[in-house]
Amino acid sequence: MATTGPLVTRIVAQSGAKTGGLAEIPKSWPKQAVRAAHGMVVTDEELGSQAGVEILKRGGNAVDAAVATAFALAVVEPTAGNIGGGGFMLVRLADGKTTFFDYRETAPGKASRDMYVRKDGKLDEEASVIGYRSVAVPGTVAGLELALKTHGTMKLGDVLAPAIRLAEEGFTISEKLAAELEEESPGLQTFPGSNRIFLNNGQRFKAGDMLRQPELAATLKRIAKNGAADFYRGETAKVLAEEMAKNGGILSLQDLANYKPKVREVLRARYDSGGHSWEVLTSPPPSSGGVAILEALNMLKEVPLKGWDDPQSVHMVAETMRRIFADRAAYLADPDYAEVPVAGLTDPCYAKERAATIDHTKATSSKTVSAGTPHVCGASASSGVAPRPVASRLEGRHTTHFSVVDTAGNAVASTYTLNDSFGSHVTCAAGFLLNDEMDDFTTQPGVPNSLFELMQSDANAIAPGHRPLSSMTPTILLRDGKLSFVTGSPGGPAIISVTLLSIINWMRFGMEAQGAINAPRFHHQWFPDRIRMEAEFPLSMEQALRARGYEVERGWYETPSLGNEGKLRKHMGLVNAVGIDPQTGERLGAADPRDRGSAVGY
Ligand code: DON
172 Cβ neighbours under 8 A, 6+ residues apart? 208, 209, 210, 211
Q: What is the pLDDT of residue 20?
A: 58
Q: Does ligand 1 have an atom closer than 6 angstroms to the CB of 576?
A: no
Task: Give the model confidence (pLDDT) of 563-582 as tens digits.
Answer: 444 444 478 999 999 999 99
Q: How far is CA 65 from the centre of its chain?
A: 19
Residues 173 and 205: beta-carbon distance below 8 Å: yes
**Spatial contact of 436 and 419, defined as CB atoms under 8 Å apart:** yes
Label residues 529-553 b or e (16+ Cβ within 10 Å = b): bbbbbbbbbbebbbebbeebebebe
Nearest CA owner, ligand 1 atom 8: 492
d(CA 68, CA 412): 12
8 Å CB contact between 521 and 594? no
Q: Give the model's pLDDT for residue 18.
A: 42
CA–centroid distance, 474 to ligand 1, in Å, is: 12
- The pLDDT value recorded for residue 382 is 63
Tell me, what's the pLDDT at 336? Answer: 98
Q: How far apart are CA 443 and CA 112, in angstroms?
A: 10
Residue identifier of the C-alpha nearest atom 6 of ligand 1: 492
Handedness of CA 506, 412, 596, 488 (dihedral sign): positive
Peptide bond into 528 cis (omega under 30): yes
Helical packing angle, 214-226 and 156-169, nearest 10°: 170
Instruction: Kindly give the distance from the C-alpha atom of residue 472 to the centroid of ligand 1, in angstroms, as a whole number.
Output: 7
Q: Evaluate: CB of 285 within 6 angstroms of ligand 1.
A: no
For 392-451, write each residue's pLDDT tens digit: 344 446 899 999 999 999 999 999 999 999 999 999 999 999 999 999 999 887 777 657
Find, among 238, 235, 237, 240, the residue nearest to 222 by Cα: 235
pLDDT value at residue 118:
94
Residue 389 has what pLDDT? 60
Cα angle 310, 312, 313; round to 5: 70
- Residue 14 Cα to ligand 1 midpoint, Å, equals 30
Per 3-state DSSP, the chain is made up of helix, strand and coil in percentages (nearest 5) of: 35, 20, 45
The Cα 396–Cα 490 span in angstroms is 9
pTM for the full predicted model:
0.94
Residue to probe by mutation, ligand 1, list 82, 454, 472, most atoms within 8 Å of CB: 472
78 Cβ inside 6 Å of ligand 1? no
The dihedral region occupied by 26, where left means phi > 0, alpha psi between -120 and 50, and beta the remainder, is beta
Ranges of the chain whose pLDDT falls below 50: 1-19, 383, 391-396, 557-569
Catalytic residue (choose from 399, 443, 473, 487): 399
Extended strands (E) in 463-558: 475-479, 482-487, 522-523, 531-533, 552-554
Q: Which atom of ligand 1 is nearest to the CA of 490?
A: 9
Centre a 10 Å sphere on the Cβ of residue 69 and count the other Cβ atoms it contains: 36
Burial class (CB in 10 A: 0-12, 13-18, 19+), 127: buried
The one-character DSSP state at 33 is P
Q: What is the pLDDT of residue 11?
A: 34
499 lines ligand 1 (CB under 6 A): no
Residue of minimum CA distance from atom 11 in ligand 1: 398
Report the separation in Å between the CA atom of 417 and the middle of ligand 1, taken as the mean of its atom positions. 7
- Neighbouring residues of 83: CB distance < 8 A, sequence distance ≥ 6: 71, 74, 138, 140, 141, 219, 220, 223, 231, 432
495 Cβ inside 6 Å of ligand 1: yes
pLDDT in tens, 180-196: 999 999 999 999 999 99
Asked if residue 240 lies in contact with residue 256, where contact means CB atoms within 8 angstroms, the answer is: yes
pLDDT, residue 344, reads: 97
CA of 491 to the centre of ligand 1 (A): 6
The reply to whether omega before 108 is within 30° of 0 (cis) is no
- 495 CA: nearest ligand 1 atom: 9
Helix (H, G, I), strand (E, B) or coil at 16: coil
Catalytic residue at 399?
yes
Q: Which of 73, 495, 532 has the most ligand 1 atoms within 8 A of CB, as the residue to mutate?
A: 495
Does residue 306 line the site of ligand 1, with CB under 6 A?
no
Alpha helices in 99-190 (DSSP H): 140-151, 156-169, 175-183, 185-188
- For ligand 1, the distance from its centroid to the CA atom of residue 416, given in whole angstroms, is 8
Buried b (16+ CB within 10 A) or exposed e, 15-25: ebeeebbbbbb
Specify whether the CB–CB gap between 199 and 189 falls below 8 A: yes
CA distance 93 to 404: 11
Q: Which residues are CB-contacts of 119 (< 8 A; sequence separation ≥ 6)?
A: none
Q: Under a CB-based contact definition with an 8 Å cutoff, are residues 558 and 566 in contact?
A: yes
103, 418, 453, 471, best to mutate for ligand 1 pocket (most atoms within 8 Å of CB): 471
Q: How far, in Å, is the centroid of ligand 1 from the Cα of 439?
A: 10
Ligand 1 test: best mutation among 417, 496, 575, most atoms within 8 Å of CB? 417
pLDDT in tens, 341-396: 999 999 999 999 999 999 999 999 999 999 999 999 888 776 478 776 654 344 44
Which pLDDT value is given to residue 13?
A: 37
Q: Give me ligand 1 centre to Cα 437, in Å.
A: 9
Identify the three-state secondary structure at position 421. Answer: coil
